[in-house]
């Protein structure tokens, strides 16, 4: 009995294999002759398509789940970094407030007036750019009809953009902070050492300017910030100019100069403020 069953099962497998092989041959012949999928192929596709879709859906579900946890970890790390930066900025603000309070107290004890700087400004838009080999200027949409005068400082929230060099009724032209004609008294924020910030022909093409007349023992270093000194009463004190990128010896070998990267990019700036008047008691 057992032998018969095994023989019968083997025969059925052989017959089934032969049927499958025949269907495959017929399917291939049909497709080759007609150029279309055979009925067998369509049936197989009909049966397997829902299974494939289900498998794809399950794979996508688990893939999205893994992506969610990966993104969550990245967002959590980014959030922690932002919190750290916020804590540092809050500490910086507290330190600055304490320094201002101490400075005000010392000035009061010394009988000096309270520090005060009030700026009267006119908002303007850049309407033309005039880059050249020897000059870099901008044209603004405000002029003498708006109280603008030659020599007025032009700034943004980031710092010094330049100064007014020509004025018409409703427009003015400014010599930018990197122009070879630009020159102003400067102060190194960290050390309070004075120097001259001025345009330089070789540096202008790179969008930089130079800090000149540094003494041999000057302690300026890369990363120092530089601001207007206010000397001469031409510009108000404390307007940021740029950051030191390099310190190099002058040709005479006696003094040094620094390469400054201005805070204001004159190639892209579009909105500025013209300082038409100011009160400065920060000396």
- Least Cα distance to 189 among 236, 223, 162 occurs for 223
Instruction: Name the most confidently modeled range: 39-43, 124-128, 235-239.
Output: 124-128
User: Is the pTM for the entire model greater than 0.75?
Assistant: no
CA 283 vs. chain centroid, Å, equals 34
What structural domains and CATH numbers belong to the chain? 117-280 (2.40.10.350)
Judged against a pLDDT cut of 70, whether residue 43 lies above it is answered with no
Q: Retrieve residue 87's tokens.
A: 């804590």
54 vs 59: CA distance, rounded Å = 9
83-139 residue pLDDT tens = 888 877 777 776 766 766 776 677 677 766 665 668 899 999 999 998 766 668 899
166-222 residue pLDDT tens = 999 999 999 999 999 999 999 999 998 999 999 999 999 899 999 998 877 778 899
Question: Regarding predicted confidence, which is higher, 168 or 55?
Answer: 168
Q: Retrieve residue 251's tokens.
A: 């040709």
Q: Is 226 exposed, middle or buried (0-12, 13-18, 19+ CB in 10 A)?
A: buried
2-40 residue pLDDT tens = 444 555 555 665 665 565 555 565 555 555 555 555 555
Please give the helix or strand (H or E) that residue 184 lies within, else none: strand 183-188
């Amino acid at each position: 009995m057992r032998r018969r069953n095994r023989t019968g099962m083997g025969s059925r497998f052989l017959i089934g294999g032969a049927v499958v092989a025949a269907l495959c041959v017929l399917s291939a012949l049909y497709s080759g002759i007609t150029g279309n999928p055979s009925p067998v192929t369509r049936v197989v596709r009909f049966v397997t398509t829902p299974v494939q879709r289900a498998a794809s859906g399950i794979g996508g579900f688990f893939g999205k789940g893994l992506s969610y946890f990966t993104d969550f970890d990245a967002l959590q790390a980014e959030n922690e970094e932002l919190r750290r930066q916020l804590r540092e900025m809050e500490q910086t603000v507290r330190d600055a407030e304490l320094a201002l309070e101490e400075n005000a107290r010392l000035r009061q004890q010394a009988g000096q007036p309270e520090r005060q700087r009030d700026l009267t400004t006119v908002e303007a838009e850049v309407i033309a750019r005039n880059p050249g080999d020897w000059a870099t200027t901008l044209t603004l949409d405000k002029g003498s009809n708006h109280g603008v005068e030659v020599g007025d400082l032009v700034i943004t929230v980031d710092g010094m953009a330049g100064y007014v060099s020509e004025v018409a009724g409703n427009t003015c032209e400014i010599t930018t902070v990197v122009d070879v004609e630009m020159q102003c008294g400067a102060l190194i924020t960290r050390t309070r050492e004075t120097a001259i910030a001025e345009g330089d022909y070789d540096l202008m093409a790179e969008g930089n300017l130079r800090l000149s007349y540094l003494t041999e023992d000057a302690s300026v270093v890369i990363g120092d910030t530089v601001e207007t000194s206010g000397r001469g009463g031409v510009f108000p004190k404390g307007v940021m100019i740029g950051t030191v990128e390099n310190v190099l010896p002058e040709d005479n070998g006696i003094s040094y100069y620094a390469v400054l990267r201005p805070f204001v990019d004159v190639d892209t700036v579009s909105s500025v403020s013209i300082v038409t008047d100011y009160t400065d008691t920060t000396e």
